[in-house]
Structure 1
Amino acid sequence: MKAVVTVMLKAGVLDPQGKAIGHALNNLGFAQVGEVRAGKIIELELAETDPAAAKAAAEEMAKKLLANMVIESFKVEIAV
């Protein structure tokens, strides 16, 4: 079973990578781009058959390692 963990900076936390991407896009002529926030996506292949157990395991992994809970938030999606 595959779990997809999306990690993003929490609202209010400065995002220099997002600012740099937004600035570069504007310089390339994409004036319609406003604020940009950058994050990361982590795909996990889990040896689990129960979707609820897979989601719980992925959430525990995110809390312990994949996300810095002080400045980042995450969401977990399970692909059945």
Structure 2
Amino acid sequence: MLFDIEVKISLKSGMLNPEASTIERSLALLGYEVKNAKTVDIIKFQMEGEDREVIRENVVDMCERLLCNPVIHNYKINVIPQNMACGK
């Protein structure tokens, strides 16, 4: 079975986010007043396997070892069997 994987990575609360600060300042220069901008990285890929929970455990391991720094990042994982994905 093929699974669609989506990992959303964001900075933990209290961490400096220079990218979001730059976005806020740039939007202010364009006349838009925004507050509390946050940035999120989204990584999408597919994995093949039979057990959704095993796939999820593998993705957690990927996050902890490579995709993010668990000291400063939070991450959310979405594992969707491809036959249940929208439009399939």
Q: Under a length normalisation based on structure 1, what TM-score does the superposition of the two structures give?
A: 0.88
CA distance in 1, matches of 2:59, 2:28: 36
Matches within 5 A, 1:35-74: 35-74=36-75
Call closer, same or farther: CA 1:51–1:22 in 2, change over 3 Å.
same
Aligned CA RMSD, in angstroms, stands at 1.2
Deviation per residue, 1:47-79 (Å, 9 max, x gap)? 123222221111110011001111111110112
Q: Under a length normalisation based on structure 2, what TM-score does the superposition of the two structures give?
A: 0.81
What stretches of structure 1 of length at least 5 have no aligned partner? none
Deviation per residue, 1:16-53 (Å, 9 max, x gap)? 0010011111221222x111111211112111232222
Residue of structure 1 equivalent to 2:25: 23
- Structure 1 segments, 4+ long, off by >4 Å, are none
Q: What amino acid maps onto 1:36 in structure 2?
A: A
CA distance in 1, matches of 2:51, 2:44: 17
Larger Rg: 2
What stretches of structure 2 of length at least 5 have no aligned partner? 82-88
